[in-house]
Structure 1
Amino acid sequence: MPDITPLRSEDHAEWLALWRGYLSFYESALDDATTQHTFDRLTDAASDLHGAIARSADGRAIGLVHWLTHPATWTSTDYCYLEDLFVASDARGEGAGEALIAHVRDWATAHGSAKVYWLTAQTNETARRLYDRVAARSGFIHYQIAL
C-alpha cells in the first residue's frame, strides 16, 4: 500500500512531473505561472486548497490528489470537492488511487464535511472502475460556462 503524505514545498519537482502527467492525460496545458501559483496554494497552510502525494514502497512519487471544501445549502457543514486525482501510468492498479481517495475521505470526515464528491471524464474508464467500487454515482450531469 502506498504511503500518503501531505504535499510539502520540498515535493515540488516530483509533484510537477505528476501534475504535467495529469494535464497531459486530460490533453490540457497551463502556463507556468498558474502551475506555480497552484503549487504555492497547495503547500500554504493558510490556503483553502489541500494536497497530498502518494509514494511507492521505494519512496518514488506515484500519485497526487488535491481537494477543497466549500459551504453547501443542503447541509449545515461543508462539502469536500476532490478536484484532481492522478496516478502515474506505471503505478496504476496497485492501490494508489484508492489510497488517495481514502486519504481525502478521512481528512473530510475529521474536518466535519458532509460528503466528498468529484468529477471525471466519461471516457476515463479505468478510473471509473475504481470510482464505482469506492463511491456512488450521483446521477447528475455536469455543465459549465467558461468565463
Structure 2
Amino acid sequence: MLEIRTVRTEDHAVWLELWQGYLKFYETELSDDVTQYAFDRIVNPASGLDGAIAWQDGHAVGLVHWLTHQATWSRGDYCYLEDLFVSPGARGSGAGRSLIGHVRDRATDAGCAKIYWLTAETNTRARALYDQVATRSGFIHYQLSL
C-alpha cells in the first residue's frame, strides 16, 4: 500500500537518496550546502516550501516539493510543483499520480487557483502521466540565471 506523508527531519537520509536520484535523472549536481539548505526549508513549516515522500511497503519511493505564491491573474494563489521524482523501481506503480494528487489536495485546501509545473521535453514517461492528469499550457519556459 502506498502512503504519502510530509517530509520530516528524521527522513533526511531517505529524502537525500531520492533527491540524489532526482538530480542524477536531470544530469545535474548541487553543492552539499545547497542540498542541505533545501532540506532545511522543506522541513520548516514557516519557509513556504513544502514536501512529501511516498512510501511503499516501508520504503521511500518518491518525493514531491511545492510552494504557493500570489498571482496577478487570480484571487487565489498559484501552486508551483517544483520537484517530482519516483525511483526507477517504482515507476508505473501509481506513485507519481498519487504525489501529484497529494499536492492537488494541499493546493485545494489552501484555496489555490491552479497548480503548474515544468518538465524536460525528453521526459516522455512522466509526460505521458502529465498528459492524463493536467492540461499542457502551451507556454515555453525561459530563464535568466543570476
Question: Do these two structures clear the TM 0.5 threshold for a shared fold by scoring above it?
Answer: yes
Q: CA RMSD in A?
A: 0.6
Indicate the residue corresponding to 2:117 in structure 1: 118
Indicate the residue corresponding to 1:13 in structure 2: 13
1:5-29 CA-to-partner distances (Å, cap 9, x unmatched) read: 0000010000000000000000000
Cα distance in structure 2, aligned partners of 1:13 and 1:129: 30
Indicate the residue corresponding to 1:146 in structure 2: 145
Cα distance in structure 2, aligned partners of 1:111 and 1:8: 20
Indicate the residue corresponding to 1:94 in structure 2: 93
1:64-108 CA-to-partner distances (Å, cap 9, x unmatched) read: 000000110000110000000000001100000000000000000
Task: Confirm whether residue 31 of structure 1 aligns to residue 31 of structure 2.
Answer: yes
Aligned amino acid, residue 95 of structure 1? G
Q: Percent identity?
A: 65
Cα distance in structure 1, aligned partners of 2:76 and 2:95: 28
SS of the residue aligned with 2:28? coil
Cα distance in structure 2, aligned partners of 1:111 and 1:125: 30
Unaligned runs of 5+ in 1: none
SS of the residue aligned with 1:64? strand
Correspondence list, 1:40-55, <5 A = 40-55=40-55
Shift of 1:45: 1.3
SS of the residue aligned with 1:100? helix
Structure 1 stretches of 4+ with a deviation exceeding 2 A read none
Cα distance in structure 2, aligned partners of 1:119 and 1:2: 25
Cα distance in structure 2, aligned partners of 1:105 and 1:87: 17
